[in-house]
Amino acid sequence: MRALVQRVSEAQVTVAGRSIGRIGPGLLVLVCAMRGDPDDAAAKLAARVAKLRIFRDQAGKMNRSVQDIGGAVLVVSQFTLAADTSTGNRPGFSSAEAPERGEALYLRFAQALRELGLPVETGSFGADMRVALVNDGPVTIWLDSADRA
C-alpha cells in the first residue's frame, strides 16, 4: 500500500457538496492499495502512520506522533498514487489493486488506525471527492508498505 501523509491543522472531504469527514489537528492520509499487497499491509502501514514522528515537541523538533498529540486522521482513498508515468505523459494505473480488494484494504487501514486508539474520519471509496486541507509546515511524507518487511 502507498500513503501520502500530510500534517494538517484541519482537513475535510466532501461528496456532492456534503461534508462526510472533517478533522482538526492531525493527519490527512491519501491511501492506495497496490496489486499484490499482502493481507497484513493495511495494519502494518497503519502502525507506521500512527507512530510517524512528524509533530513538533517542546523544542520545536519533529519528535511526536499523531498518537502523542491526541490528533485525528482523515483517510481518503486515492488510486492515482499508483500512477506510472514512465512511458509518457498519460499516467497508467494498472499497478493499483482491483476496486473490490482495494476498498477492503482501504477500510482495513482505517479500522487499524481506530484500533490503535485514533479518531478516524474517511472519504468515500470510488466517489468524486473534494479534499480541503491546511497543511501544517508544510509537512508531507510518502510511505510505501513495500519499503519495509
Beta bridge partners of 129: 15
Q: Any catalytic annotation for residue 78?
A: yes
Q: Any catalytic annotation for residue 14?
A: no
Chain-centre distance of CA 65, in angstroms? 15
User: Which residue in the list 6, 55, 67, 79 is annotated as catalytic?
Assistant: 79
| 22 membership: H or E segment, kind and range | strand 18-23
Confidence of residue 58 (pLDDT cuts 50, 70, 90): very high
pLDDT > 70 fraction of the chain, expressed in percent and rounded: 99
User: Which residue in the list 6, 67, 78, 122 is annotated as catalytic?
Assistant: 78
CATH architecture of 2-147: 3-Layer(bba) Sandwich (3.50)
**Phi, psi torsion values for 86, nearest 5 degrees:** -70, -20
Per-residue pLDDT of 63-74, as tens digits, reads 999 999 999 999
User: Which residue in the list 80, 85, 87, 93 is annotated as catalytic?
Assistant: 80
In contact, 32 and 96? CB cutoff 8 Å = yes
Q: Any catalytic annotation for residue 6?
A: no
pLDDT of amino acid 88: 87
What value, to the nearest 5°, has the Cα angle with vertex 65 and ends 62 and 67? 155
